[in-house]
Amino acid sequence: MTLTQAQSPPRPGASGRLVGKPIDRVDGGAKTSGAARYAAEYPYPGLAYAALVHSTVARGRITGIETAGAAAVPGVLAVITHENAPAMKPAPPMSVLNLSSLATGTRVNYLNTDEVHWNGQPVAVVVAETQDAALHAATLVRVTYEEFAATVGFTAEEPNAKPQKSDMLQSGSASKGDAEAALAAAPVSVDLRFTTPQHNHNAIEPHATTAVWDGDRLTVHEGTQNVAWVRDHLAARFGIPAGSIRVISPYVGGAFGGKTMVWAGTILTVLAARVTGRPVRMMLTREGVYRTVGGRTPSAQRVALGAGADGRLTSLIHTSVTQVGRVGGGPEQVTSQSRHLYDAGAILVRQSLVELDTLSNTIMRAPGESIGTFALEAAVDELAYKLDLDPIEFRMRNEPERNPIDGKRFAHRMLREAYALGAERFGWSARTPEPGSMRDGRWLVGMGVASAYHPSWQLPANVTVRLSADGTVLVRCGFHEMGMGGATAQAQIAADALGVPFEAVRVEYGDSVLPTGPGAGGSGQTASVAASLLTACEKLKRSMLALARRSSGSPLRGRRLNGLRARDGGLWTEPGPGETYAAILARAGRPHLEVAVGSDTRVGAMVGQARFMAKFLRDRRRWMKAACGAQFCEVRVDPDTGEVRVSRWVGAFDVGTVINAKTAAAQLRGGIVMGIGMALSEETLVDPRNGRIMNPGLGEYHVPVHADIPPIDVCYLGDPDPTMPLGLIGVGEVGITGVAAAIANAVHHATGRRVRDLPITLDKLL
Partner 1 sequence: MVDVQLRVNGTIETLDLRPRVSLLDALREHLGLTGTKKGCDQGACGACTVLVDGERINSCLTLAVQYTGRSITTIEGVAGGGEPHPLQTAFIRNDGFQCGYCTSGQICSAIGMLAEHAAGAPSAVTEHLASRAELTDVEIRERMSGNLCRCGAYNGIADAIGEVAAAAAVQEVTETGAVRRGSAAGAARQATTAEAAR
In DSSP terms, which residues pair with 34 in a beta bridge?
none
Residue 86 contact among partner 1, ligand FES, none, beta carbon within 5 to 8 Å by kind: none
Nearer to partner 1, 43 or 441 (CB): 43
Tell me the C-alpha distance between 22 and 659, whole Å: 8
Shortest CA distance to 724 belongs to which of 13, 20, 7?
Answer: 13
Dist CA 750 CA 431 (whole Å): 11
**Cα(352)–Cα(165) distance, rounded to whole angstroms?**
9
Q: Edge-to-edge, what's the strand order for the sheet holding 463-468? A: 505-508, 473-476, 463-468, 592-597
Which of 206/446 has CB closer to partner 1? 206
Q: Shortest distance, CB of residue 55 to partner 1, whole angstroms?
A: 21
> Which DSSP state fits 361?
P
Residue 269's alpha-carbon distances to 221, 234, 283, 296, 512, in angstroms, are 11, 11, 9, 25, 18
Q: Least Å distance between CB 23 and ligand FES?
A: 18
Q: Which does 251 bind (CB under 5 to 8 A by kind): partner 1, ligand FES, none?
A: partner 1
**Residue 487 touches which of partner 1, ligand FES, none (Cβ within 5-8 Å per kind):** none
Partner whose binding site includes residue 206, from partner 1, ligand FES, none (CB under 5 to 8 Å by kind): partner 1
Shortest CB 711 distance to partner 1, Å: 6
Q: Tell the smallest beta-carbon distance from residue 254 to ligand FES (Å).
A: 5
Residue 407 Rama label (left phi>0; alpha psi -120 to 50; beta): left
Site for ligand FES in 61-100 (CB under 6 A): none
Which residues are within 8 A (CB) of 314 and not within 5 positions of it... i.e. 6 or more apart?
Answer: 182, 183, 185, 186, 306, 307, 308, 344, 345, 346
CA distance 49 to 209: 10
Nearer to ligand FES, 345 or 510 (CB): 510
Which residues between 395 and 454 bind ligand FES (CB under 6 A)? none
Residue 704 makes contact with ligand FES by CB under 6 A: no
Q: Could you tell me the smallest distance in angstroms from the CB atom of residue 30 to ligand FES? A: 13
Cα–Cα separations (whole angstroms), residue 296 to 87, 199, 354, 683: 31, 5, 14, 10
Q: CB of 116: closest distance to ligand FES in angstroms?
A: 30
C-alpha to C-alpha distance for 741 and 633, rounded to whole angstroms: 10
Residues between 465 and 484 with contacts to ligand FES, criterion CB under 6 A: 483
| Residues that bind partner 1 in the complex, under the rule CB under 8 A | 1, 24-25, 27-38, 40-41, 43, 49, 130-133, 136, 201-206, 251-256, 283, 285-286, 482-485, 662-663, 665-667, 669-674, 697-699, 703-707, 709, 711-712
The residue (of 205 and 496) whose beta carbon lies closer to partner 1 is: 205
Does residue 733 carry a catalytic annotation?
yes
Name which of 129 and 600 has its Cβ closer to partner 1: 129
184 binds, among ligand FES, partner 1, none (CB under 5 to 8 A by kind): none
Residues in binding contact with ligand FES, number by CB under 6 A = 3
Catalytic residue among 222, 369, 382, 733: 733
Q: Does 708 bind ligand FES (CB under 6 A)?
A: no
The residues, ordered by sequence, that sit 6+ positions from 498 with a Cβ below 8 Å of its Cβ are 467, 473, 505, 537, 540, 541, 566, 581
Q: Is the dihedral of CA 30, 34, 38, 42 positive or negative?
A: negative
Give the single-character DSSP code of 198: B
Task: From the list partner 1, ligand FES, none, pick the one residue 673 interacts with, judged by a Cβ distance below 5 to 8 Å according to partner type.
Answer: partner 1
Task: Please identify, using beta-carbon distances, which residue of 523 and 667 lies nearer to ligand FES.
Answer: 667
Amino acid, res. 370: S
Q: Which of 623, 629, 705 is nearest to 664 (CA)?
A: 629
Q: Closest CB to partner 1 among 183 and 664?
A: 664
| Whether the Cβ atoms of residue 631 and residue 673 lie closer than 8 Å to each other | no
Instruction: Please report, as a single letter, which amino acid is at residue 523.
Output: S
Closest CA to 195 of 152, 153, 155, 151: 155
Q: Does 705 bind ligand FES (CB under 6 A)?
A: no
Which residue, 330 or 483, has its beta carbon nearer to ligand FES?
Answer: 483
Half-sphere exposure of 384 (CA within 13 A, CB side): 24
Minimum CB–partner distance for residue 660 and ligand FES (Å): 16
Q: Considering the complex, what minimum distance in angstroms separates the CB of residue 118 from partner 1?
A: 22
Report the phi/psi class of residue 53: left, alpha or beta, with left for phi > 0 and alpha for psi in -120 to 50: beta
CB 201 → partner 1: shortest distance, Å?
8
**Backbone φ and ψ of 319, nearest 5°:** -125, 155
Burial of 7 (0-12, 13-18, 19+ CB in 10 A): exposed
For the segment 633-692, give every residue that binds ligand FES (CB under 6 A): none
Least Å distance between CB 482 and ligand FES? 8
Q: Which does 142 bind (CB under 5 to 8 A by kind): ligand FES, partner 1, none?
A: none
Question: Do 701 and 684 form a contact (C-beta atoms < 8 A)?
Answer: yes
495 binds, among ligand FES, partner 1, none (CB under 5 to 8 A by kind): none
Name the binder of 442 from ligand FES, partner 1, none, CB < 5-8 A by kind: none
Q: Does 204 bind ligand FES (CB under 6 A)?
A: yes
- Residue 29 or residue 187: which is nearer to partner 1 going by CB? 29
DSSP code for 720 = P
Q: Which does 534 bind (CB under 5 to 8 A by kind): partner 1, ligand FES, none?
A: none
Contact partner, 663, from partner 1, ligand FES, none, Cβ < 5-8 Å per class: partner 1
Q: Which residue number, 53 or 566, has a Cβ lying nearer to partner 1?
A: 53
Closest chain position to ligand FES (CB) = 204
For helices 486-498 and 525-549, the axis angle rounded to 10 degrees is 30
CB of 709 to ligand FES, least distance (A): 12
Measured at the CA of 662, the angle between CA 656 and CA 663, to 5 degrees, comes to 75
Rounded distance between C-alpha atoms, residue 734 and residue 456, angstroms: 9
By CB under 6 A, tell whether 254 contacts ligand FES: yes
Which residue number, 53 or 703, has a Cβ lying nearer to partner 1? 703
Q: Hey, which residues between 100 and 119 contact ligand FES (CB under 6 A)?
A: none
Question: Where do contacts with ligand FES occur on this chain (CB under 6 A)?
Answer: 204, 254, 483
Catalytically active residues are 733
